[in-house]
Amino acid sequence: MKKKAAKKAHEAAAANEADGDLKVAIADFDGSLQLQQRLKGAASVIIGLNDLEGTTFFCTPEAQRALDRRLRRYHARLWFLGSGNYHYTSYLLMRRIRRPFTLVLFDHHSDAHLQPTLLSCGSWVAEALLRLSQLQRVVLVGVQERYLEGIPEALTEKITWLPPEKWTAEELVAAIPTRAVYVSIDKDVLDPRWALTNWDQGQMPLPLLLDLLRALARARKIVGADVCGELPPAQQGWFGREVQEAVARNERANLAILQALTDAG
């Protein structure tokens, strides 16, 4: 009994905190954020996850249960997830939302292709549309048109794709039918000038992304957000100057995104 009550109080305290300042969490799957000292300084918590198996690209059911258990007690509003290989974590975070909401996804890929069995960085949007009853609509910003091919037809009626000429605050807000919004940002949406990831990238300039985020926060209630698209250390090695420069570029983008979401409250 006592234990249960204490746990409840702890959870309530965490929830209250989340309503005030923007709390930032780092889910450290791959060490890709380890060199981003300023970003780490801005985080309330860094959750070590690199001992979990079955989490790269795909998330096995066992890994999903373990991940859920580890993340459950943290109520941050902004999550940094490392490289795009772990983008499916957005699905687990959105599962917590208890009211009708819209997912606004800034990504070069749609992440909406169903895989037969596993949750993955390419399927999580499809899984969310199929399984999360509170998710009313997905708005895709920055997705290249060819990546819309192959999305199951049953899902497309709940997806709005904004072509480049509609990357404006007005068009974006008009596409969102709910007050509550969850924002997910894969930095592969950005032109490589502004960030370097391990996937092919789009052409969005960072200042445009920041403008859209501020407009979103003014017009709607952002109930949660996440950012991925770091360079995975395993693929790059940490010591070259080019890698250092890429990490610095990604950190600048991350801090600017954090700032845009903080300004807006």
Smallest distance, Mn ion to C-beta of residue 106, A = 9
Q: Considering the complex, state which of residue 67 and residue 143 has its C-beta at the smaller distance from Mn ion.
A: 143
Which residue in the shown chain puts its C-beta closest to Mn ion? 186
Smallest distance, Mn ion to C-beta of residue 19, A = 28
Q: Considering the complex, state which of residue 75 and residue 91 has its C-beta at the smaller distance from Mn ion.
A: 91
Count of CB atoms situated within 10 Å of the CB of 6 = 10
Which residues contribute to the site for Mn ion (CB under 5 A)?
A: 84, 87, 107, 111, 186
Q: Is 54 left (phi over 0), alpha (psi -120 to 50) or beta?
A: left
**Contact criterion met (CB below 8 Å) for 26 and 33:** yes
For residue 78, the SS3 value is strand
Q: Considering the complex, state which of residue 86 and residue 167 has its C-beta at the smaller distance from Mn ion.
A: 86
Q: Considering the complex, state which of residue 23 and residue 87 has its C-beta at the smaller distance from Mn ion.
A: 87
Q: Considering the complex, state which of residue 44 and residue 198 has its C-beta at the smaller distance from Mn ion.
A: 198
Smallest distance, Mn ion to C-beta of residue 219, A = 24
Smallest distance, Mn ion to C-beta of residue 137, A = 18
With vertex at residue 139, the alpha carbon angle to CA 188 and CA 251, rounded to the nearest 5 degrees, is 30
Q: Is 109 left (phi over 0), alpha (psi -120 to 50) or beta?
A: beta
Smallest distance, Mn ion to C-beta of residue 232, A = 14
For residue 182, the SS3 value is strand
What DSSP letter does each residue of 222-263 carry, written as one string? EEEEEEE-PPPHHHH-S-SHHHHHHHHHHHHHHHHHHHHHHH
Q: Considering the complex, state which of residue 107 and residue 251 has its C-beta at the smaller distance from Mn ion.
A: 107
Smallest distance, Mn ion to C-beta of residue 88, A = 9
Whole-angstrom Cα distance, residue 47 to residue 118? 23
Burial of 257 per CB tally in 10 Å (0-12, 13-18, 19+) = buried
Q: Considering the complex, state which of residue 229 and residue 233 has its C-beta at the smaller distance from Mn ion.
A: 229
Smallest distance, Mn ion to C-beta of residue 12, A = 33
